[in-house]
Structures are given as C-alpha cells and as structure tokens.
C-alpha cells in the first residue's frame, strides 16, 4: 500500500514477500520510502525482505530505508551487505547499501517502472513446485510426499540412484536462506544428468534422498527462520512433534527407515562473507577417525573449487557440548553419519568475489556440482 498520493506503490503480498510501509515521501527534489521488515509469525525473528515498487519514473532516484534493521535477528550481518535488486526477477544484481544507526539504506535510479528488491535472490514456492515437477518426471527419479507442513503444504522427497551408501541432502530449514534451494536445484540437475559419467558412477555407489525444502510454510509466508508456528526447525531434531515440527518428524522418520551414511544440511549465513562447513564436534560418540572424514571432505572441496574455503567458519563445540537438537549433530550421533552443515553467504564469497552479483543463485548451483564431484571422489571412504 502507499501512504501518500504518490504514484509509487510498494507491495509484498505475494509468494515469499515481506515488508511493511511506514511512509512514502515523493517530493519534487527526491523520493524516500521508509519501510519495516515484518517478524515471523509467532516469533521475534526477522531479517528476510522481498517486495516490489511500482510506478517509478524513468531516471527517478528512490531511496529506501529499512528502519528496524538494527532490531533484526542478526544485525551484525548488515555491515558490508548489499541489497539484491531486479527488474525482471531473473537477474538479481547487488546495489550499494549503507547501514548506520540501525537503518539499512540504498538508492535505486529507476530504469523501469517496476523494480523488485530482496535480501537475496528469492526462491519461491512456485519455483519449488516447478522444480519438483521437472525433476520428478526424469528417468530414475522416485517422488514421494513424506508428510505435510502445519499449513498443509507437501514435504517433497526425491530419491535417485541405487547404490548402497545412503546420502541425504536437505535444505531450507530456515526459509529466508533462499540460496539453499538454488543449491538444491543445482544438485538435482546434476544428479539427473544421464550423460554425466561422474553422476553415473556416484549413483551406482549411492542412493540420494533429497528434500529440497524443509519449510514450505515459512517460505511462502516470507519468514526468516521459522515455520507457521514460529518454530525453528533446526532445533527440533531431538524430539520433533506433529504439533510443532511435523516437517522434521516426517523427514527424520524417513531417515530412520533408510539409514544415513552422509548428510548435507544446506543453509545461509548472514555475517561471514564466505562458504564454509560446520561439523559435529562435541557429540557424545565423537572419535577422531569419524571426524577426520568430515575434515577430509572439506579439504578436498577447497582444493576442488575456488568457491569454498576452510579458514573462516563457526567455533567448534567443546567435547560433549554438541547441541543434539540440531540436525547435523543429531544425524552424526544417531547414525554415525558423516554429517555437515553447508553455510553460504548473503554477502559474497570474498576469496573469489563477484562485484556485480555477489554470491548468487547460479553460483549456489555450481557449488552443489562441486560438492557432488568431491563426494564422488571419496564415497567409498565414507
């Protein structure tokens, strides 16, 4: 809605949208639009935004200010961050962005009457449905609806391959981390490439179980981190329930049925400008031999692609202090899996930066390819 007689209109009432208009000041000497991000339903989490502006005049300079950015879930992620903007919802370029006194600010010089702005290149539920339809129709792919979310949306599962190693790929537990489903698209495209000899050899040794979106409700609602009940799914893996976290419950039940040898939980990180892995240090059953398999995978991946590094990342849990409500720790303890959390940046992978697009959906897809190639080179050891 708009709060003045200006022809400009702000709208986020669409799949994945999130913003609230505070004011629009469309004066002759400049235009300023003040906004707020809406918190996740029944939760204090917020950081994801996605909206459009309509009615822009050619060459008009519009300054956007998100006034409550300093109260967001991870305000330490704003310094150095750049908003993504698009006029076609296909190419999402970075826009110079400032952060000061709790306000996130950027200026767009309109080159179209419509413009879209987001925390990261969106991956909507409509895109998810199209991906699932396309991949499920491919030869050798088995699709199943594992269960339903609190809003009644499907938890889609795709199985590919016939090998004895059980590999689980799952993402979007935190719906605002949209790069995760771009990664999933890349992984699924590579796993269904019948002409790829690396894929063929990998699928002969492993069966892949893929859940591209663990949190469809949060995705559609425009949430940052939680489901329809305001629950952080990645703190439910020790005791998921139908009332709070049916999404985790149905996936973990399916994992119990197949077993898990390798698990990749795909995420995005607000602050660290690099791709990195987090492991399962601190689980009760930790052994150095088990952990070395995880570390070896990271070293091989860093050697394989400039879009990954091992210097930056999270602090490791102390012995015995792993949080078993988190999936990576739970699966390593529950199954003895080589379990890992991939974190991709909302900013850029600074060791191999792209000044126009930053870290992007396309680069997320390519990283998925590199991770599968690395896995293929050591699947027998895992």
Name the percent of the chain lying above pLDDT 70: 99
What φ, ψ does residue 328 adopt, rounded to 5°? -60, -45
Domain borders along the chain are 9-118, 125-381
Structure-token pair, residue 321: 């202090």
Report how far residue 31's alpha carbon sits from residue 347's, in angstroms, rounded to the nearest whole number: 27
Confidence band (pLDDT; 50, 70, 90) for 28? Answer: confident
Q: What is the pLDDT of residues 232-245, one digit of tens each?
A: 999 999 999 999 99
239 within 8 A of 231, measured Cβ to Cβ: no
147 within 8 A of 328, measured Cβ to Cβ: no
The strand pair at 103-109 and 61-66 is best described as: antiparallel
User: Nearest 10 degrees: CA dihedral of 54, 58, 60, 63?
Assistant: 40
Half-sphere exposure of 261 (CA within 13 A, CB side): 15
DSSP assignment, residue 18? B
The whole-number pLDDT of residue 331 equals 98
* CATH code given to domain 9-118: 2.60.40.3120
**pTM exceeds cut of 0.85:** yes
The whole-number pLDDT of residue 27 equals 85
Report the 3 state secondary structure along 251-299: HHHHHHHHCCCEEEEEEEECCCCCCEEECCCCCCCCCHHHHHHHHHHHH
Distances 224 to 105, 148, 175, 281, 345 between C-alpha atoms, Å: 20, 20, 6, 26, 15
The whole-number pLDDT of residue 6 equals 84
Report how far residue 250's alpha carbon sits from residue 56's, in angstroms, rounded to the nearest whole number: 46
Q: Which of 51, 167, 59 lies closest to 119 in space, CA to CA? A: 51
- Strand boundaries in the chain, DSSP class E: 9-11, 20-27, 30-36, 50-54, 61-66, 83-86, 93-95, 97-100, 103-109, 114-118, 141-148, 154-160, 165-171, 206-211, 262-269, 276-278, 338-345
Q: Which of 44, 60, 108, 112 lies closest to 82 in space, CA to CA? A: 108
209 within 8 A of 142, measured Cβ to Cβ: no
Name the percent of the chain lying above pLDDT 90: 97
Report how far residue 113's alpha carbon sits from residue 62's, in angstroms, rounded to the nearest whole number: 12
Whether the pLDDT of residue 83 is over 80: the answer is: yes
Whether the pLDDT of residue 121 is over 90: the answer is: yes
The whole-number pLDDT of residue 283 equals 98
Which residues sit opposite 171 in a β-bridge? 266
Q: Which of 95, 102, 88 lies closest to 37 in space, CA to CA? A: 102
Distances 65 to 58, 61, 106, 177, 348 between C-alpha atoms, Å: 20, 13, 7, 22, 22
Q: Region 221-227: what's the mean pLDDT?
A: 98
Confidence band (pLDDT; 50, 70, 90) for 3? Answer: very low
Whether the pLDDT of residue 145 is over 70: the answer is: yes
* CATH code given to domain 125-381: 3.40.630.10
Structure-token pair, residue 328: 């990576």
The residue annotated as part of the active site, out of 292, 343, 356, 362, is 343
332 within 8 A of 339, measured Cβ to Cβ: yes
151 within 8 A of 219, measured Cβ to Cβ: no
Q: Which of 88, 106, 112, 3 lies closest to 49 in space, CA to CA? A: 106
210 within 8 A of 303, measured Cβ to Cβ: no
Neighbours of 238 (CB within 10 A): 16
270 as an active site residue: the answer is: no
The whole-number pLDDT of residue 5 equals 66
């Amino acid at each position: 809605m708009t709060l003045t007689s200006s022809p400009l209109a702000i709208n986020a009432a669409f799949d994945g949208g999130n913003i609230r208009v505070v004011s629009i000041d469309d004066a002759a000497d400049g235009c300023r639009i003040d906004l707020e991000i809406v918190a996740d339903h029944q939760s204090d989490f917020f950081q994801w935004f996605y909206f459009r502006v309509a009615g822009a005049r050619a060459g008009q300079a519009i300054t956007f200010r998100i006034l409550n950015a300093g109260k967001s879930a991870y305000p330490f992620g704003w310094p150095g961050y750049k908003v993504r903007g698009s006029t076609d919802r296909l190419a999402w370029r970075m826009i110079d962005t400032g952060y000061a006194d709790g306000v996130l600010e950027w200026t767009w010089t309109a080159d179209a009457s419509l413009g879209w702005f987001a925390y990261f290149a969106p991956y909507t539920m409509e895109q998810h449905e199209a991906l699932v339809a396309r991949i499920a129709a491919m030869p050798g792919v088995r699709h199943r609806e594992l269960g339903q979310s609190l809003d009644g949306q499907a938890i889609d599962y795709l199985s590919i391959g016939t090998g004895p190693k059980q590999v689980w790929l799952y993402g979007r537990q935190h719906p605002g981390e949209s790069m995760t489903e771009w990664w999933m698209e890349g992984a699924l495209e590579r796993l269904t490439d019948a002409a790829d000899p690396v894929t063929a050899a990998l699928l002969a040794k492993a069966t892949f179980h893929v859940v591209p979106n663990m949190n469809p409700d949060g995705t559609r609602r425009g949430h940052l981190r939680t489901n329809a009940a305001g629950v952080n799914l990645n703190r439910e893996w020790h005791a998921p329930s139908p009332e709070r976290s049916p999404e985790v419950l149905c996936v973990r039940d399916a994992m119990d049925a197949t077993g898990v040898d390798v698990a990749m939980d795909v995420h995005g990180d607000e602050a660290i400008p690099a791709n990195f892995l987090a492991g399962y240090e601190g689980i009760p059953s930790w052994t150095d031999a088990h952990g070395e398999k995880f570390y070896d995978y990271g070293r091989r991946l860093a050697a394989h692609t400039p879009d990954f590094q091992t210097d930056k990342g999270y602090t490791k849990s102390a012995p015995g202090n792993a949080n078993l409500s988190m999936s990576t720790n739970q699966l390593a303890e529950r199954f003895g899996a080589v379990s890992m959390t991939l974190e991709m940046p909302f900013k850029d992978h600074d060791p191999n930066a792209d000044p126009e697009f930053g870290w992007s959906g396309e680069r997320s897809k390519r990283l998925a390819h590199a991770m599968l190639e690395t896995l293929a080179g050591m699947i027998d050891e895992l």
